[in-house]
Amino acid sequence: MIFDKLVAIMAEQLGVNAQDISMDTILRDDLAVDSLDLYNLGMVLEEEFNIELPQEDMNDIETVEDVVKILKELGVEE
Protein backbone atom coordinates (compact mmCIF):
# COMPACT_ATOMS: atom_id res chain seq x y z
CA MET A 1 0.00 0.00 0.00
CA ILE A 2 1.29 3.46 -0.91
CA PHE A 3 0.54 4.93 2.51
CA ASP A 4 2.50 2.27 4.43
CA LYS A 5 5.54 2.62 2.19
CA LEU A 6 5.31 6.41 2.35
CA VAL A 7 5.16 6.35 6.17
CA ALA A 8 8.29 4.21 6.33
CA ILE A 9 10.15 6.54 3.95
CA MET A 10 8.99 9.67 5.78
CA ALA A 11 9.89 8.28 9.21
CA GLU A 12 13.40 7.47 8.02
CA GLN A 13 13.98 10.66 6.00
CA LEU A 14 12.46 13.09 8.50
CA GLY A 15 13.55 11.36 11.70
CA VAL A 16 10.02 11.05 13.07
CA ASN A 17 8.08 8.14 14.54
CA ALA A 18 5.94 6.28 12.04
CA GLN A 19 3.13 6.30 14.64
CA ASP A 20 3.04 10.10 14.38
CA ILE A 21 2.14 9.97 10.68
CA SER A 22 -1.45 9.68 9.46
CA MET A 23 -3.25 10.77 6.30
CA ASP A 24 -4.26 13.98 8.11
CA THR A 25 -0.74 14.82 9.29
CA ILE A 26 0.22 18.36 8.25
CA LEU A 27 3.84 18.20 7.18
CA ARG A 28 4.94 21.70 8.17
CA ASP A 29 2.96 21.95 11.41
CA ASP A 30 2.92 18.39 12.75
CA LEU A 31 6.31 17.16 11.53
CA ALA A 32 8.21 20.48 11.31
CA VAL A 33 9.03 19.84 7.64
CA ASP A 34 10.70 22.78 5.92
CA SER A 35 11.26 23.38 2.21
CA LEU A 36 14.61 21.57 2.22
CA ASP A 37 13.07 18.54 3.96
CA LEU A 38 10.29 18.53 1.37
CA TYR A 39 12.78 18.76 -1.49
CA ASN A 40 14.83 15.86 -0.09
CA LEU A 41 11.69 13.81 0.49
CA GLY A 42 10.65 14.44 -3.10
CA MET A 43 14.02 13.20 -4.35
CA VAL A 44 13.71 10.00 -2.32
CA LEU A 45 10.13 9.43 -3.54
CA GLU A 46 11.22 9.92 -7.15
CA GLU A 47 13.93 7.31 -6.69
CA GLU A 48 11.77 4.86 -4.72
CA PHE A 49 8.74 4.97 -7.02
CA ASN A 50 10.59 5.70 -10.29
CA ILE A 51 8.58 8.86 -10.97
CA GLU A 52 9.20 12.54 -11.59
CA LEU A 53 7.45 14.92 -9.20
CA PRO A 54 6.58 18.24 -10.83
CA GLN A 55 7.77 21.19 -8.73
CA GLU A 56 4.31 22.77 -8.78
CA ASP A 57 2.89 19.60 -7.19
CA MET A 58 5.55 19.70 -4.48
CA ASN A 59 4.64 23.31 -3.69
CA ASP A 60 0.99 22.30 -3.12
CA ILE A 61 1.73 19.57 -0.57
CA GLU A 62 0.36 20.24 2.89
CA THR A 63 -0.66 16.83 4.24
CA VAL A 64 0.40 13.22 3.89
CA GLU A 65 -2.85 12.66 2.00
CA ASP A 66 -1.68 15.23 -0.58
CA VAL A 67 1.48 13.19 -1.15
CA VAL A 68 -0.52 9.98 -1.57
CA LYS A 69 -2.85 11.65 -4.08
CA ILE A 70 0.08 12.94 -6.14
CA LEU A 71 1.73 9.52 -6.14
CA LYS A 72 -1.51 7.91 -7.34
CA GLU A 73 -1.92 10.57 -10.05
CA LEU A 74 1.60 9.75 -11.25
CA GLY A 75 0.67 6.09 -11.61
CA VAL A 76 2.09 4.60 -8.43
CA GLU A 77 0.15 1.41 -7.75
CA GLU A 78 -1.41 0.45 -4.44
pLDDT digits (tens, 9 = 90+) for 41-74: 999 999 999 999 998 888 889 999 999 999 999 9
CB within 8 Å of 54: residues ≥ 6 apart: none
Please provide the average confidence, as pLDDT, over all residues in the chain.
Answer: 95
- Which residues are tagged catalytic? 34
How sure is the predictor about 17, in pLDDT bands with cuts at 50, 70 and 90? very high
How sure is the predictor about 19, in pLDDT bands with cuts at 50, 70 and 90? very high
Q: What's the average model confidence in pLDDT over 2-27?
A: 96
